[in-house]
Every structure is written in C-alpha cells, then in structure tokens.
Amino acid sequence: MKQIIILFLCTFYFITGYAKPVEQPLDNVVAVVNDDVITQSELDHDLNAAKLQIAREQMPAPSSEVLQKQVLDQMINKTLQLQLAKQGGIQVQDTDLDKAVAEIADRNQISIKLLYERIKEEGISTTDYRKEMRERLMMQKLQQQEVINRISVSPQEVTNFIHSNVWQNNSAKEYHLEDILIPISDTPTTEEILQAKKHALAIVTQLNQGKNFREVAQAESGDSHALQGGDLGWRKIPEIPSAFATEAIKMQANSIAGPIQTPNGFHIIRLAGVRAIGGKQAAPSRKQIEQLLMQRKFEEAVQNWISKLRSQAFIVVNV
C-alpha cells in the first residue's frame, strides 16, 4: 500500500521536466548548500521552467523577486534531498526509469515516442529529461526510506475516523483549500515562534483588508504550494491536514482561518469552495480511507522532515 501511495503522491509533469544546464566556467554562485553550490545559470534555468508552468496553468505571475525566492527555495530543498540520497547509496536503475516514463506517457494517453517529441518541442533533450526523472525517483526512494516507512495508520485510527462527527457529517463533501505557511525551524526558540506568529497575524490582517490570498501566498508562504498561490486543490476530509480539518468544516466559502500552529509553523487557510460528491465517490471503502489518511500523514511528515533537513544544513544565499 505504501508503494501505491508514493506513486500517487509524486506527480510528474512532462512539460516541466527540466534538467540542470551545463554550468559555465565563470558561473556566479547564488547559494551554498552544505558541500554543493547552486549557480546563476541553474537558477535561471529553473526560473524559466517555473514561468512556463505558470503560463501553461494560467496562474497569476508573481513578481520577479518573489518568483526567484520561491524557485531558489525549492532548489535548495531538492539539493538537500539529493545529497542525502547519494550519501545513502540510493540509485535508480534504468528499468525503473523506463517504467516511470512509460507511466507518465500512459497517464497522458500518449506513446513514449510522442512524449519525448513533446519534450523536445519544449527545448529539452531526452538525456536531460531522463536525468531529471532519475533525480525525482531518487527523492521518492529517499522519502520512502526516511518518511513513509516510519509512519502508519492503525486499524483503530481508521475506525475512530469513520465514526467521528467530522467524517459522519461531511463524508459526501470536498473542500477546496488554499494555504499560507509561515515556517519555523525544526527546534525553534520561543522568540522564533513568537515572531512567526506575529508575522502570520499581520498577514491575516492584510487578507481581511482585501489583499489577494494567492498573491500573498506566492510572496509569503514557505511550503511547496507557494507558486500555485497556496492552492491545495479539492480534497476529501481524510486528505485535509488534520490541523485544518475541524476548521474547514466550519468555514464559509471565501472565508479565512488562522493562524493555525503546527510543528512546521503557522498556517493561514482560505476555503475557496465546497461541493457535494456523488456516485461511487460518496462512500469510499475502509481501505480507501486508510490510504487517504496515510497520504495526509505523509504530507505532514514530509514538511516536518524537510524543515529538519534545512535546520541542520549549512545554507548561504547570495542573492
């Protein structure tokens, strides 16, 4: 079941499968991450990829400064994970890589040949695309080793959830949530917690005064959904982070709640909408609920794990 969740959680977008360009001899260093560096050309390359994704998904574009900050932040997280994967001897065989590419092609209902042709149209070579895919698979294996193998959902947890008022009264609904995270370190001081909460409260004030939630999320949020304006998409109750679920069911559409404190920081959420679900989706099986609860735990654990990686790393940003 954990293998299935890993595949479900880690989505691949072939239009954004960019690999790092060849470094120039005199490339400027924009960040030092332990023993590795991120260069200006690498940052520019990922910025271009992010701009393409934003354009393709027709999202509002953040300012250049905000976009650079968010993209560099994601690059640092990726570098930290790849460092740990290499230290642990994690490798991806060609057969596993071929299987992942085939799954992407199948998901997009195209042949592998056509997939590579479309990638080429985006200016990406097959070699570079496969390198990027291999790194993504390495990070998946690392996350399975470091995170998902250390969490579980017991039969009693599933039973308790099924009989909870939260599920009984809202099992036939989906919630569209947006999230802003003001992060804190893995072992924060009292002062750090107070400052983060103060910052979060200031953001709530701005939002209540009419500031656009998605624009604020792009500029301020510290999680992986920041560039998407904090958009978590449509989710059933078991998929919503446990800290948000009880708040979400009480909210009206377009309302804001928070700050909500979690181990990785303070969250501000917006309920973009609620909809009823019917048909077969209205009554998920016990096994499906177990998988959704595992997905929830996995997302929460990954956020906390990455926060811990960053707090223990030597990171210097030069932009």
Distant-in-sequence, close-in-space partners of 196: CB < 8 Å, separation ≥ 6 = 182, 183, 184, 188, 265, 266
pLDDT, average across residues 2-23: 40
- To which H or E segment does residue 266 belong? strand 265-276
Structure tokens at 83: 């460092």
Higher pLDDT among residues 3 and 122, named by residue? 122
How does pLDDT run across 164-186, given as a tens digit for each residue? 988 988 888 999 999 999 988 87
Tell me the C-alpha distance between 227 and 222, whole Å.
Answer: 10
With contact defined as beta carbons under 8 Å apart, do 227 and 75 qualify? no
Q: What is the pLDDT of residue 283?
A: 67
Domain boundaries, the chain: 2-150, 170-282
Helical packing angle, 64-87 and 40-56, nearest 10°: 110
With contact defined as beta carbons under 8 Å apart, do 33 and 83 qualify? yes
CATH topology of domain 2-150: Triger factor/SurA peptide-binding fold (1.10.4030)
How does pLDDT run across 266-276, given as a tens digit for each residue? 999 999 999 98
Closest of 201, 200, 232 to residue 214, by C-alpha? 232
Q: pTM for the complete prediction? A: 0.79
Confidence of residue 281 (pLDDT cuts 50, 70, 90): low
Confidence of residue 120 (pLDDT cuts 50, 70, 90): confident
pLDDT, average across residues 6-32: 53
Confidence of residue 24 (pLDDT cuts 50, 70, 90): very low
CATH topology of domain 170-282: Chitinase A; domain 3 (3.10.50)
Query: Which of 43-57, 61-75, 88-102, 177-191 is predicted least confidently?
Result: 43-57
pLDDT, average across residues 245-255: 91
Tell me the C-alpha distance between 186 and 198, whole Å.
Answer: 19
Query: Which of 35-44, 127-136, 174-183, 274-283 is predicted least confidently?
Result: 274-283
